[in-house]
């Protein structure tokens, strides 16, 4: 039994090597996490982009790799940590009220956000980033322990084209989620 528990913990913290794609279309945003697209939501206002946005929400089950990755070359402009509840990450309400860490990023096309959201079991968000830090496409930057959610928040004024759909499995640093045109 102890061996099985040890294997489960080691499996959760695994960090498989990934060959990050090259030669991508300008404006490509890769998935920041492994999991399943649980929602694609259009909102009238989001603090990450200070205006209308589309949120691509990825649910990470306890079986997924929980490392977060940069969706493009970008720079950290702001970090906003919020205390909150620890509801089951599969519920829609959890994305609004659970503990979270918003990372506002900029690149040569737009300002956008990534949000790490804890779940019922996930009570630890790891994000060692600092303002002004540069990230490369696919670079690892943190994780959320156990079941959780990662969101990519894109401004509508960058004319994002979402290329995934709800229920689709995605792989961090490999699966294209969207393209921004501006």
Residue 21: pLDDT over 60: yes
Say which CATH architecture domain 2-179 belongs to: Distorted Sandwich (2.70)
DSSP for 83-138, written as a single string: --B---TTSTTHHHHB-EEEEEEE-SS-EEEEEEE--SS---EE----TT-EE-TT
Q: What are phi and psi of 49, to 5 degrees?
A: -115, 0
Q: Tell me the catalytic residues.
A: 148
pLDDT for position 13: 65
Rounded CA-CA distance 52/72 in Å is 21
Instruction: Tell me the pTM.
Output: 0.90
Whose tokens are 């009570």? That residue is 123
**What percentage of the chain has pLDDT greater than the value 90?**
65
Least confident of 36-40, 117-121, 131-135, 176-180: 117-121
> By C-alpha distance, which of 70, 56, 50, 158 is closest to 110?
158
| CA gap 134, 131 in Å, rounded | 9
Lowest-confidence range among 5-9, 14-18, 53-57, 166-170?
5-9
Q: Structural domain boundaries of the chain?
A: 2-179
| Dist CA 142 CA 126 (whole Å) | 5
Q: Indicate the length of the chain as a whole number.
A: 182
Indicate the pLDDT class of residue 114, thresholds 50, 70 and 90.
Answer: very high
């Amino acid at each position: 039994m102890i061996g099985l528990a040890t294997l489960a913990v080691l499996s959760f913290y695994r960090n498989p090597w990934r060959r990050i794609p090259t030669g991508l279309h300008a404006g490509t945003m890769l998935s920041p996490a492994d999991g399943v697209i649980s929602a694609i939501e259009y909102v009238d206002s989001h603090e990450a982009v200070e205006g209308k946005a589309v949120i691509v929400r990825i649910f990470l089950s306890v079986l997924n790799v929980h490392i977060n990755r940069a969706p493009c070359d970008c720079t950290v402009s702001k970090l906003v940590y919020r205390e909150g509840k620890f509801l089951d990450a599969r519920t829609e309400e959890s994305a609004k009220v659970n503990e979270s860490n918003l990372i506002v990023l900029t690149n040569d096309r737009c300002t956008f956000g990534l949000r790490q959201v804890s779940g019922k079991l996930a009570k630890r968000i790891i994000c060692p980033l600092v303002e002004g830090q540069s990230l490369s496409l696919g670079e690892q930057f943190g994780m959320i322990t156990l079941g959780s959610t990662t969101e990519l928040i894109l401004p509508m004024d960058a004319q994002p084209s979402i290329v995934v759909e709800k229920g689709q499995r995605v792989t961090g640093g490999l699966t294209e989620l969207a393209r921004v045109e501006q």
